[in-house]
Amino acid sequence: MEAETIQATFLRLYLRDFMERVKFRGERFIVQTFGRPMMVLISYEDYLLIKNCLPPASRTLELTMSPRDPENVAEPIQKAL
């Protein structure tokens, strides 16, 4: 399933709705702020799948990537899903 891109302000207004869509429908969302991807909203099951499928060296992905360059984060996550 392809991730839908949403704005952070929209997520803030409808957080509970998005949480239910992620949990019960398996939807995924890329959350943007000022047009730049900032985070990915995925189910806990997807998170476990990613965590368990990545080799140990890749589990440090969040430590090796600059938090100032969030565009580099979306691609590895999409590949893992």
Q: What's residue 15's pLDDT? A: 97
Q: What is the CATH number of the domain that holds 8?
A: 3.40.1620.10
Q: Whole domain around residue 67: which residue ranges?
A: 4-80
pLDDT, tens digit, 9 for 90 and up, residues 30-66: 999 999 999 999 999 999 998 888 776 555 555 555 5
The span from the CA of 65 to the CA of 6, in Å, is 23
Q: What is the pTM of this model?
A: 0.66
For the chain, what is the domain count?
1
The span from the CA of 61 to the CA of 26, in Å, is 24
